[in-house]
Amino acid sequence: MQVFFVIAYFIIGFVQLFAIADGAGHAFRVGGFASFIIAAFLTYIPIVGAGFGVYGAVTAWGWPIWQALILFFWYVIAAVVVSIVQGVAGR
């Protein structure tokens, strides 16, 4: 199960990289290389990267905000579900 989460984290991080790059290009009106450099710094900072990924997916890609939130904050949802299951199983 842990391997699944690690692989999913890196795959979503890769998608997040492009969402942040497109969002930075849209917000700052910079070219592809500059927006990629900005995205490379922000992508794997957990909450910051997810937030900018949501911004890029919504503004640059035209996604509904709920889909972007689910995609980029999936690990928060998974952590809550695991915590609830462990709490119920421990009783």
Q: What is the pLDDT at residue 91?
A: 65
pTM of the model: 0.83
57-68 residue pLDDT tens: 999 999 999 999
Q: At a CB cut-off of 8 Å and minimum separation 6, what does 51 contact?
A: 72
16-40 residue pLDDT tens: 999 999 999 999 988 889 999 999 9
**Euclidean distance between CA atoms 19 and 5, whole angstroms:** 20
Domain ranges, residue 16: 2-89
Number of domains in the chain: 1
